[in-house]
Structure 1
Amino acid sequence: MIAQQNSTSTDTEEGEARADALAWQWISILDVILAAPPVSMADGVAIADLLMDSTIGLPISGVHGAKLTAFASLRDLMARQAAQDAADAELLSLFRQWVENESLFDGNPLSDEDASVASDNGKRLMLEIAAIPAHTAIGFSIKIYAREHWLHGSPAGQPATAVRMPDLPPEAVEAVFQRNMFRDALRVMPELNALMGDAALPAEVADV
């Protein structure tokens, strides 16, 4: 619609009237968009783009009406996001403690006593991670990664934090679930990639 408005000639009265009609139609649509509460951060970015637009946004007419509503909605969205981040802060802290603990096995060989202590600490951290409710996508990604590591361990020659892919037919339901859950977790929480070493999902079976 914006492109149609910009391409409409205003050299004639008819063209000017058409451009005005398109402008009012766009303003009505804009008010509806700005009045809709954003649900995701992507929604928030879209609203922020509209508010900052040099032809229709705040620089033109300031904050009032639908724009004021949109500002309030953005504030509420950011407050909810901050609360969600804080909700899984303990879970994220425990996971990073687990990563640090597991990394002990990647250094010089541990004494039997030190290995036993590290193993007990790893189990304790896993139990705490399992027990704490996840509230965000990051929290669920942590739980997916931790559960798969507990079930399958790490492959030989890879970091102790890496997850071993079970030896299953690529088309097996369990294998499809695992690959795709891992894909989701690694996308949501990119730092998990560094824990996998070279034990990444095989390219030929990553997409099903």
Structure 2
Amino acid sequence: MKYGKPVRIGVNGGSLDPVVFDRARQKYSRGKIFQEEQNSKAFVEAMVETSLASVLLAQKLGLSEDYMVLSAKTSRVGEMVFVYRLLALAQKSKVSLHLGLTEAGGGERGIIQSAMALGMLLEQGIGDTIRVSITPRLGEDRTGEVRVAQDILQSLGLRSFRPVVTSCPGCGRTSEDFFQHLAQRVSQAVDQRMTVWKKNTREWSI
């Protein structure tokens, strides 16, 4: 508040207040629900309750909603989607929502899970900022997360970062690998030229 900077208010599913979580679990334990489903419903409710309570506390301390970015970190796609849907509905005031699936994993699994979670919410108009959390391979840096985030936004038509290379997946009618090599070379050439194109193009959508 002193420096006029935005503050991210983060609620992490791995460190929920046990009192809030237990209260939610007791609520759902009255019905005949399988334990896993019961825990999931209670978890979502506890995440939403804790998130909204954190926003109210920040407001009482004098932080304007314009300077808040609310993050609710979960590691399951379904739970994340439900948490943010409820937060979007429950907020009387507009606080920016930061989307991100924590502990998404590495490789294709991490990419798929992140794309599913973020894509469903962004398509519904939920979310103001995003973060992709993927475990990098040994020796790799973390810039791959940024590329995945860009691809998600571009696939939904929300941003444009680079030309899209459209290529055939291949089928029984072709036995040569010419198209595979061509698609790979074109994609690599586009990536290599992006820096130059951005410098030489005044109007670049980002």
Q: Same fold (TM over 0.5)?
A: no
Return the TM-score normalized by structure 2: 0.28
Return the TM-score normalized by structure 1: 0.28
Higher helix proportion (structure 1 or 2): 1
Bigger relative contact order, structure 1 or 2, given CA contacts below 8 A and separation 6+? 2
Larger radius of gyration: 1
Higher strand proportion (structure 1 or 2): 2
